[in-house]
Structure 1
């Protein structure tokens, strides 16, 4: 047995990020920047698997003088190593496609679906010259544990996600949630080692990664977490799996599919229940499956069926239905419209409030997201609320807590800590840039017909500005109602023999 030659490089965070971005730029021209992720991440992940295999092989030789193949994180079949691809003289795309397929076959439970659906052999879509340049860029760096720590590698992966989000503009919302928002959501839900955590709209798994980081930072063992996710997009679900592995997750469970129509996180014919559920679902989703919701076999239609043209409350109903009795809590990022829209959504709000499941409404600053400039909120639900919050809902107005940015605003660590303190203590955090907090009794919510507009309960001089979105939404609702009334009148006139 002999060691396999390797050259540890010990790249800094900045050096690795520069190298990875150079690799992505190898595709510029033939590949749209919005699609970089579909090509770069599988190659990066494959290189990491191969470099880690060599690292584990050499460690076994050094420590035991023999190769314990079963100890490898991933099994690599003969002829499927990085060197086998990089040294292929021609038709490299076809070779890479074959190698990735064989890797999946050798590690079906871990790697099924992880490499996406790119046709690597299609030279029209990806010229061989561009692929060779991409492979060469990764060939110049080592991604094994002796060269790069897991934290540095994971942070570099997050860097690429941010850069791809910038490059793809509005498409970014499909797979990237701003880290400051994710960090705040995680501090509010306070996950612990040993708990089960799920994200039913997981995107690139940023929330699940942040949960692991939070447990580690708190002195817990993230390996004891049970992480689950579901994502409808094939490429994005693959990115999620890679992201979790690169951040050190041991056995993440990421499923591809439509959560509202076909939830995959089930057991014995019932929805799985979790200690923590957190998500940033797609806002105002149309065509989400309202037709079958009243007879939903999973029993998620709490209060009413959400509007067919807006699935916000379907996500809320789903996540509330997956909270574990006793310990379960859920945090959901939503547009402010969920707080005050009428009709079926009002009925659902009433149901959730009367069941005493809604714990907090947290209004965040505007322009935090790539996909929308509107302000968003976090809704916090608990299966069992603290005694002092029974029959009440905590309102937090944090729209002043942000750092202005060129393209998007962000929240600093101090902003996040300030809002977190307001949530956990239920007290105002004083100062001109503090947060306003108020615990509101359920009877007062009923007096306002279960309208949760923050401005109704927390008065500020800037309330007029904060209510712009509400005015726009109510105007659109009125216009839609008028259109529906006109259509109904036209039908009645036609039925009576009058031509419109």
Structure 2
């Protein structure tokens, strides 16, 4: 019943589509065709749903086609229409409301149903007819959006047959992707996926105007938080690219405001293919066309919004609540044309070869002066470059308009590895300081690129939104200090976040021991576990510390400490509290319908940050990440189960959970006996509850024993392999060894073992004969265990499926809780172990660091030299060789 698709599944479908286009297109062109078909499918489904919701019966949809034959059609009470005039009125109403109309024969589902008679001309004509149907009011939104299908089908094949085959394959693949709302940006994900897969050829062509969703997510959280108290907002992206920034801000704001249409979108993009992508993305999010304002044009050359039909006399300076952009970095522009441009006149003109500040000032010009906000991604150099850029930067600081600067890791963006920043600006600020955040070291690796995890995004956003100072991470810098630094905003001037090189103590290197200063760097650990330091270290006569136990005893000493055990126990209690909290949110299966799947993430996250007390040595953001890493399956299951209960709540249907269990399972049956009509379950799976949960909870003893026997099979294989490896080469004969395949013959070994037993000969220990007999016995054991596993597993599969189908509502609920939370609980309890283990490793390395002092090394050298001298003195040889050896003896200090 669910219509969700995971990113992993979507990625595999997209890859399948790309492979079908590989022979015809360049890698960077795939997206135009894949995304175009997906959008068309969406528009077809949107129109169909609109018609059905307006009283048109599904059986009558075929009438909405100019080529429909009405000769045998009767207009009566059994149809949706009373006349052809009503049909035409319905078409016009659709165009008026949705902005377009698609003939029935051109609907995506009609293509699927009629694929055997589908021709490439039909495909091309469908898009031509779509263009002709567009409501003039929505020309800006739909015109030429499918131009690739109207004008560039020749790229899909050299003739109509090849083109038809390619299109049919693409349609079949796109049919697998639901166009209904997902929990993520589907088009953006596909776009990013294709860029990542073909980065070598597509990166520079595509990546330059795509903002990775982690960066977009961070900017959105900051902007939406600033605007959270508003009922409606307007947002603008003058370099919209894929449109992901606008969409993410809209989605984030809607978490604060549940209105039906709280966001108005403005977007401008210069490149046609990405202008289309912006429009596609906004359309597919089912945003009201009246709330979408898009334009293709050069942001720097001609200011916008708003012009109507390119008429300059209709210009109107528009200010919005939020401007967001990721413009092309250090682009050339016609700076000389803009000396009197009102966007720049107060601040100055950006250099001809570096338009970064031109984009920034354009954005700022459109920010609402009362309480608007803007966020822009820029190259790191804008913080410190001189001349005209310094003049602009100084003016922005003096006007108190720069609110926050966030340093990003390198390699965050496709196609460029240069360091970048996010700058947050507001036109009116009550303070003159600037918050600096150095997130350059805060990332996880994904392939060649760096990215933020969700917990890292939240940490940065929380720091900015709450204006927090965090040591070596964020700092609020007063205007006076910035002025003293000549308006240089380089983050490293204000935050020291460089990785420190390991320090070495001279005394420790020469004589040994660990300085108090060096051990003090572990005080965060010792302050929590107060007895550990004295248990591990002792002072020597030089007032330096030495390990007083063997290095291999450190772990045991730490884990036997009572404070450490209390600490670990605390996390077990934390896990238990989290489990109980979850059960208060979702107390039973039927209560799931009262929980919004999108809200469960926030409710659990709020618990971590608001109800869990601060824990020494553990960052709450790490606990949050554990929840986030496991939340998707919870949300998917809640949405699925909720739909079943909501769909049936007016029918008073009993045992809805059994319907869920049955619908979500797949079974393979087999005959009990050959030619028998009685069947048993050969194999079963379930999308909602994996068989392992049934086996482990209701058939645990037998399931555990089966697993142990499977492990025994692996042990026997290892024993056989080890024993056979000891057989000498001369003992290998063709009876037991296949020289061509270089492997032993099982049947040959078993036959030889029988002969040895029959001969009654004495088998000596470790002899060839003993090895053969032992291997034969292992083979016999293996056969018996496999027979047991096979028969028992068959019964377990059958019994577990029967139990699955008969689960009570409460049993089903409890198994879901196990499925959803077991991994979270396990990871919560593992977190302190990982922290303690990291300190144990540090102590072990510390003990090795000064293990060999310079004095020890020097003594060893002297000892080795003395031994070498004695050896050299005993040497005899030719006169020339001995002269050389005598010289070496002198160098080594010999007489």
The one of 254, 268, 286 equivalent to 1:216 is 254
Are 2:56 and 1:61 equivalent residues in the alignment? yes
* Aligned pairs for 1:145-160 within 5 A: 149-151=180-182, 155-160=185-190
Q: Distance in 1 between matches of 2:326 and 2:142?
A: 25
The one of 452, 472, 494 equivalent to 1:411 is 452
Q: Distance in 1 between matches of 2:260 and 2:395?
A: 35
Q: Distance in 2 between matches of 1:256 and 1:37?
A: 19
Cα 1:244–1:238, aligned 2, differ >3 Å: closer, same or farther?
same
After alignment, is 60-69 or 125-134 more displaced? 60-69
Cα 1:449–1:219, aligned 2, differ >3 Å: closer, same or farther?
same
* Aligned pairs for 1:319-334 within 5 A: 319-334=363-378
8 Å contact kept, 2:99–2:134 = no
Cα 1:232–1:110, aligned 2, differ >3 Å: closer, same or farther?
closer
Q: Distance in 1 between matches of 2:232 and 2:194?
A: 33
Alpha-carbon deviation of 1:311? Answer: 0.4
Q: Where does residue 291 of structure 1 map in the other structure?
A: 336
Q: Distance in 2 between matches of 1:304 and 1:230?
A: 24
Are 2:219 and 1:182 equivalent residues in the alignment? no
**Secondary structure in structure 1 of the residue aligned to 2:446:** coil
Alpha-carbon deviation of 1:122? Answer: 4.8
Are 2:101 and 1:76 equivalent residues in the alignment? yes
8 Å contact kept, 1:23–1:138 = no
Q: Where does residue 699 of structure 2 map in the other structure?
A: none
Q: Distance in 2 between matches of 1:369 and 1:199?
A: 18
Q: Where does residue 460 of structure 1 map in the other structure?
A: 497
Are 2:487 and 1:450 equivalent residues in the alignment? yes
5+ residue gaps in structure 1? 1-7, 465-500
8 Å contact kept, 1:397–1:436 = yes
5+ residue gaps in structure 2? 59-78, 82-86, 308-313, 502-895
Q: Distance in 1 between matches of 2:39 and 2:448?
A: 30
**Secondary structure in structure 2 of the residue aligned to 1:177:** coil
Q: Where does residue 167 of structure 2 map in the other structure?
A: 134
Are 2:406 and 1:362 equivalent residues in the alignment? yes
Q: Where does residue 272 of structure 1 map in the other structure?
A: 318
8 Å contact kept, 1:88–1:95 = no
Q: Where does residue 5 of structure 2 map in the other structure?
A: 12
8 Å contact kept, 2:13–2:176 = no
**Secondary structure in structure 1 of the residue aligned to 2:21:** coil
- Greater helix fraction, Structure 1 or Structure 2: 2
8 Å contact kept, 2:237–2:246 = yes
Are 2:191 and 1:161 equivalent residues in the alignment? yes
**Could you list the per-position Cα deviations for residues 355-386 of structure 1 after superposition, in whole angstroms to 9, with x for gaps in the alignment?**
1111111111111111211221111111222x
Q: Where does residue 484 of structure 1 map in the other structure?
A: none
Q: TM-score, normalised by structure 2?
A: 0.47
After alignment, is 347-356 or 215-224 more displaced? 215-224
Are 2:124 and 1:98 equivalent residues in the alignment? no
Cα 1:353–1:261, aligned 2, differ >3 Å: closer, same or farther?
same
8 Å contact kept, 1:197–1:277 = yes
8 Å contact kept, 1:361–1:380 = yes
8 Å contact kept, 2:469–2:476 = no
**Secondary structure in structure 2 of the residue aligned to 1:444:** helix
Q: Where does residue 172 of structure 1 map in the other structure?
A: 206
**Secondary structure in structure 2 of the residue aligned to 1:223:** coil
Alpha-carbon deviation of 1:270? Answer: 3.9
Q: TM-score, normalised by structure 1?
A: 0.81
**Secondary structure in structure 2 of the residue aligned to 1:285:** coil
Alpha-carbon deviation of 1:443? Answer: 1.9
Q: Where does residue 490 of structure 1 map in the other structure?
A: none
Q: Distance in 1 between matches of 2:463 and 2:120?
A: 61
Q: Where does residue 838 of structure 2 map in the other structure?
A: none
**Could you list the per-position Cα deviations for residues 408-441 of structure 1 after superposition, in whole angstroms to 9, with x for gaps in the alignment?**
11101110111112112222346xxxx6221112
Q: Distance in 2 between matches of 1:255 and 1:76?
A: 22
Alpha-carbon deviation of 1:88? Answer: 4.0
The one of 125, 138, 145 equivalent to 1:114 is 145
Q: Distance in 2 between matches of 1:461 and 1:141?
A: 48
Whose relative contact order is higher, 1 or 2, with alpha carbons under 8 Å and at least 6 apart?
1
8 Å contact kept, 1:51–1:142 = no
8 Å contact kept, 2:208–2:414 = no
**Could you list the per-position Cα deviations for residues 205-258 of structure 1 after superposition, in whole angstroms to 9, with x for gaps in the alignment?**
000110122123335337220110100001101111111111222231111000
Q: Where does residue 396 of structure 1 map in the other structure?
A: 437
After alignment, is 27-36 or 17-26 more displaced? 17-26
Q: Where does residue 763 of structure 2 map in the other structure?
A: none
The one of 46, 49, 56 equivalent to 2:40 is 46
Alpha-carbon deviation of 1:113? Answer: 3.7
**Secondary structure in structure 2 of the residue aligned to 1:151:** coil
Number of residue pairs the alignment of both structures matches: 445
Q: Distance in 1 between matches of 2:180 and 2:123?
A: 30
Q: Distance in 1 between matches of 2:397 and 2:257?
A: 35
Cα 1:349–1:141, aligned 2, differ >3 Å: closer, same or farther?
closer
Q: Distance in 2 between matches of 1:347 and 1:421?
A: 31
Q: Distance in 2 between matches of 1:179 and 1:274?
A: 23
Q: Distance in 2 between matches of 1:232 and 1:20?
A: 27
